[in-house]
Amino acid sequence: MNTSTVQIILLIIHLLFFIYAFFAIGSYVILAIISTIETKEYMKKNSFVNYKEIMSSTISPSISIIAPAYNESLNIIENVRSLLSSHYVNYDVFIINDGSKDDSLEKLIKAYDLVKVDFLINQQIPTKPIRAGVFKSTNPAFEKLTVVDKENGGKADALNMGLNISNNNYVACIDVDCLLLENALQKMIKPFLEVTEETVIATGGVIRIANSCIIKDGKLLDVNFPKKWIVQAQILEYLRAFLLGRMAWSRLNGLLVISGAFGLFNKKIAIEVGGYDTNTVGEDMEIIVRLRRHMEEQKLKYKVAYIPDPLCWTEAPDNYKIFISQRNRWTRGTIETLRKHRKIAFNSKYKSLGLLSYPYWLFFERLAPVIEVIGIIYFVILMALNEVRWDYTVAFTVLAYLFAVLFSIVAIFSEELTFHQYKKKGTGFKLIVISILEPFVLHPFILYAAIRGNMDYYFNKKKKWGEMTRKGMAKAKKNN
């Protein structure tokens, strides 16, 4: 190859990187604009909603909360208490003890006066069998609670057991360690009851980080901003994702994921599609894609709704080891889901799902870390060859960094103008500081975890969930 050919190839590579970055940034900006408009509209409309009537109405639809638990002995009593403290009238709680090896079941039996009962289960989705049995409380105060002890089959299998056992039309699938606000169910059920032109198949809620917050008897008493940078940076990341991303996807009816920590489903349709996939670590994303695919194939009008209110609070990883393990799993889940449903990709039969949502996830979620690493390797090669144009490098790096900071600050603004959860003096300054630091204290680890996720997906098929050690939200404050 002569010099001019090499230069043309290099130019093409540079152009491709530039086009990718341009479209990535462009899509973030467009999504942020749509999100802002949508959130503003939501806030306006929401100011006219009276949730009290629905909450206390005996004819409001019944909801089953399904919470899988695996070795959650440390916090299970407190967590169940939180789930039982909803203000909604018609709901029940199913704790699916998924073959825990610890004393979760014994603790639950003791704390909630549980006794084994005969329970008829319509096994519409295959699951691992019941182990010790189904338990109900003898104490009327806990009549809403049912504990199912089954053999270990993973989170998806436990959720499927919940879908089988619930008698209600709506099921809220949540992580047992999540703290639900008392008004969470009435807010989440609203789209199912309100949207008339199409069938709402699922509603997703915002997940907020509870580290350092004060929680007592399963209730959130005070919102605090954590001390650790890694947790602070995750708060910022969640604000960006939920306030500047998902709201827009909801508007475009293109949501591909509802957080596994809290989502409400139309049970009939969830069962129709076969429930959760037990062969993926990204079952929360996979079920949404499958539900949407099913509705598109049936040519039915549908919607995946999204509620931006801070309704569900959870403990985020507070050390890099657990954080990387979590993000590694998210990456593998995304790859598995996109591969499984690759038929959708660029397929006009699936309308915006195939032409917008799927391509976005493929290019800007699935491939983003891969392209970033290729960029870094390419840069190192250029450095080795002494071919780096430093004037370009410095200028574009500064621009990208400033855009990242600006985008985070916009997310903070969105939060302040809407839900304003971090009210304490000095928190605003901390949020700004973490916006400046986040590209250094969190992003490299996200990138590393994503690459590890890719490698594990292709070369370490045996890897499943990975570790997530809980400190317990009530105890987390001291450590963060």
Partner 1 sequence: MESYQYLIDYFENSPTIIKVVWVASSIFIIIIILLVIYLKYLRGHLRKNEKIVTKHQKEYESYLISYLYAGNEEEEISEEQQAIIDKLKSCAVDEFKRRIIVSTLLRLRNEISGEMAEAIQKLYFQSGLISYALSQLKSKKWYIVAKGIRELTQFHVKEVHDEIVNFVNHPKKEIRKEVQLYLVTLFHFEGLKFLDVLQTHLSEWDQIQLLEVLQHFENQELPNIKPWLKSTNDSVVTFALKLAKIYNQFEAKDAIMQLLAHQQKVIRVDAINALSHLQVVEAKDILKNNFDKLSLEEQITFFKLLENMYETSDEPFLLDHVTHINFEIKLSALKTLKILNIEKFKSLNEISDEPDYVKIFNFIEHN
Q: Which of 48, 299, 385, 461 binds partner 1 (CB under 8 A)?
A: 48
From the CB of 195, what's the least distance to partner 1, in Å? 8
Q: Which stretch binds partner 1 (CB under 8 A): 42-50, 141-149, 350-358, 369-377?
A: 42-50
Question: Side-chain half-sphere of 109: how many Cα atoms within 13 Å?
Answer: 14
CA distance linking residue 343 with residue 200, whole number of Å: 23
Non-local CB neighbours of 478 within 8 Å, separated by 6+ positions? none
From the CB of 283, what's the least distance to partner 1, in Å? 25
CA distance linking residue 246 with residue 172, whole number of Å: 19
CA distance linking residue 424 with residue 421, whole number of Å: 9
Please, which of residues 101-140 interact with partner 1 by CB under 8 A? 118, 120, 122-124
Neighbouring-strand partners of residue 65: 93, 172
Q: What six digits make up the tokens of 72?
A: 């959650």
**What binding mask, one character per residue, do residues 383-412 give for partner 1 by CB under 8 A, x or -?**
--------xx--xx-xx--xx-xx--xx-x
Q: Which of 2, 4, 47, 348 binds partner 1 (CB under 8 A)?
A: 47
From the CB of 278, what's the least distance to partner 1, in Å? 21
Exposure string of 369-385, with b = 16+ CB inside 10 Å and e = fewer, is: bebbeeeeeeeeeeeee
| Closest residue by Cα to residue 191 from 204, 208, 210, 209 | 204
From the CB of 417, what's the least distance to partner 1, in Å? 8
Residue with tokens 């801070």: 310
From the CB of 135, what's the least distance to partner 1, in Å? 16
User: Could you give phi then psi for residue 224, rounded to 5 degrees?
Assistant: -120, 155
Question: Which residue number, 322 or 409, has a Cβ lying nearer to partner 1?
Answer: 409
Angle between helix 368-384 and helix 3-46 axes, rounded to 10 deg: 150
**What binding mask, one character per residue, do residues 133-172 give for partner 1 by CB under 8 A, x or -?**
----------------------------------------
Please, which of residues 211-230 interact with partner 1 by CB under 8 A? none
Q: Which of 3, 5, 50, 348 binds partner 1 (CB under 8 A)?
A: 50
Asked whether position 59 contacts partner 1 by CB under 8 A, the answer is yes
CA distance linking residue 169 with residue 62, whole number of Å: 7
Q: Which of 101, 420, 461, 478 binds partner 1 (CB under 8 A)?
A: 420
Please, which of residues 183-202 interact with partner 1 by CB under 8 A? 190, 192-196
- Give the number of other Cβ atoms within 10 Å of residue 397's Cβ: 10
Question: Which residue number, 371 or 409, has a Cβ lying nearer to partner 1?
Answer: 409
Q: Give the distance between the most distant pair of CA atoms in the chain.
A: 84
Question: Side-chain half-sphere of 330: how many Cα atoms within 13 Å?
Answer: 21
- The number of residues that bind partner 1 (CB under 8 A) is 45
Binding interface with partner 1 (CB under 8 A): 44-45, 47-48, 50, 53-54, 56-57, 59-61, 118, 120, 122-124, 190, 192-196, 391-392, 395-396, 398-399, 402-403, 405-406, 409-410, 412-413, 416-417, 420, 423, 425, 428-429, 432
